[in-house]
Chain A
Amino acid sequence: MALRMTMGNEAAAMGALAAGCDFFAGYPITPATEILEEMGRRLPARGGVFLQMEDELAAMAAVIGAAWGGARAMTATSGPGFSLMQEHIGYAALTQTPCVVVDAQRGGPSTGLPTLPAQGDVMQARFGAHGDRPAIVLTASSVWEAYAATRQAFALAERHRTPVVVLLDAVIAHMREPVEIFDLPPPGRAPWPGSRTTKPPFGRHPFAPFGGGRDPIVVTGLSHGEDGLPTTGSGQAAERILKDSITAIAHDPELASGVEGFYLDDARWAVVAYGITARAAQAAVESLRAAGVPVGLLKLHVLWPLPEAALIHLADRVDGILVAELNLGQLVMPIRAAVAGRTPVEFVGRADGLLLAPEEIGARLRTGSGSVVTEQGGRRDA
């Protein structure tokens, strides 16, 4: 097995190429710039298109345009750029345009902490665009997972015809770990499965881009039905398409299984974490286990749709859940809603650019049901 020390951002780029990505448009931003640079180096040599646009709005717009031109298209950014992309992420959702957005999260809000990690874009990745829409958000807690998640994102984007977000964080994006050298498929664009000759262009029908001899269609950010034509004055047809998509995504077994358990068989308390924080949580659990404390970890690979079944299953078996994330309380909210009182759900988080240390998570796991500080800063007794 040939190993190579690889940066998380480079791995994400390789994951995209492995999935057949042949178009990248982006704008430089720390800590995502290496994805841009890596794609700039590799895509032209593979016959693909690399574009540095004038801003993130334009980058996301170009990605959507490229998808309708038949490309497997991606962009990469960080917090401020991700905020700018939200309108177009909503556009891609309504127009059912398959594409991938990697967001290497940094401290925010605003310019925030450009080189320091955060996990503060979790809710923005789900709800950042106005209106209601389906959403798929993956994450990674190692360099290998950055590769795997980005590769998987393209398959999911194509299957569900929706933008898929991969949330990295500044540490995973910039860290290097040995990974097996990636084999890339031969260059070239695989045909899209969709045919418009027998199926309408929108709804639960495969994606088929412009051109290639296909009949012309209308793509619009106005609410529309399966034929693509705007339905001014009524949102029923568009709502049905969106609801069908949300349902299909909620029932996709690949997404529902996007969790990984560590030491959960006999765990009394479990920490739920993702990204770099899952690494700290794993170290905390291993250390407590060595001391005989029955704790475990549920690591999330998929953030949205929230793997509710796995969380409920966990909640039914443990005395309590500790949600750990690098923000002031984001994913803990839907987790609490999903668990619905089956077991106490505590929270530990920070948004000062520092990581949650294993000791910090371990101490909270040990404390279990004691008096704790809530994410709102108040105190309450569990």
Chain B
Amino acid sequence: MGAGPVRLTRIRLTGRGGQGIMLAGAILADAAMRDGRHVTETQEYGPEARLGATKAEVILSDAPIAFPEVGQADILVCLSRDGFLKYGGRIVPGGLRLVEETSVSEEALDRDLCRFPWRERARHLGLELTMNVMAIGTLQAVTGVVSEESLEAVIRERVKAAYVEANLTALREGERLGSGVRAPVVSPEGKRREGSRHGFNDLQ
């Protein structure tokens, strides 16, 4: 090592069984691999096939990744309240938290939480199950950790033909929701620098 700082991003996706957290993690990881990054993706789930908190963890790096577990995440993407309660806590100070707006109660609100109406928008578009992909779209727009082209390519590859268009629509809607937001990003020095944070509350 010692060849200079390494750009490494630890992302935790969490939600409830059946919301497609595993698929979201897989799409994100596949896309990052297409971008030429080093990637690890791990999962944790309870015994339930439906409901129950689940998480997927994706690490993206410019160098080989030694340890694949995300302890303190740099970025949290959360789709459900039980996911937030179980896995929402372990995040670096100042880390980015993108959450479905109904997954946190009013009293838990703080200004560092970016809330998005993914569920309502996905419902509105006619396929609530695409909420996971919409969240990935928002993550892409806010952070740029993965390229839009790779995400689109992976969705075309991974998703059943009949649902590709719906998922691409969800991806673009997610990107639109995130486009007004600029986030703290990880600098090449490996240190966090504050991005513009206005706009976080504009979404609500």
Contact = CB atoms under 8 A, between A and B. Distances in A.
| A adjacent to B, CB under 8 Å | yes
Interface string B56-71: 0000000000111101
Contacts of A358: 66-67
Given A5-B29, A276-B68, A280-B66, 5 more contacts: A3-B33, A5-B26, A174-B43, A290-B1, A358-B66
Interface of B: 1-2, 26, 29-30, 33, 38-47, 66-69, 71
Contact of B30 (A5, A174, A283, A290): A5
B9 to A, nearest CB: 16
Nearest to B34: A3
A80 to B, nearest CB: 14
A3 B29 CA distance: 12
Contacts of A357: 67, 69, 71
Contacts of B47: 114-115
B46 to A, nearest CB: 7
Q: Which of B38, B40, B66, B71 has the most CB of A within 10 A?
A: B66
Given A114-B47, A290-B1, A178 B33 contact: yes
B1 A177 contact: no
Q: Is the interface of B mostly helix, strand, loop or mixed?
A: mixed
6 contacts: A5-B26, A5-B30, A5-B33, A175-B40, A177-B68, A276-B68
A300 interface: no
Interface of A: 3, 5, 114-116, 171, 174-178, 276, 279-280, 282-283, 286, 289-290, 355, 357-359
Nearest to A286: B1
Contacts, number: 60
A177 B66 contact: no
B41 A175 contact: yes
* Pairs of residues from A and B, 4 with the lowest C-beta to C-beta distance, nearest first: A283-B66, A283-B67, A282-B66, A176-B41
Nearest to A177: B40
Contacts of B45: 115
A5 to B, nearest CB: 5
B1 A280 contact: no
Contacts of B30: 5
Contact of A279 (B38, B44, B67, B71): B67
B39 A178 contact: yes
A8 to B, nearest CB: 10
A289 B2 CA distance: 9
A116 B69 CA distance: 13
Given A3-B33, A115-B47, A279 B42 contact: no
A176 B66 contact: no
B29 to A, nearest CB: 5
A177 B40 CA distance: 5
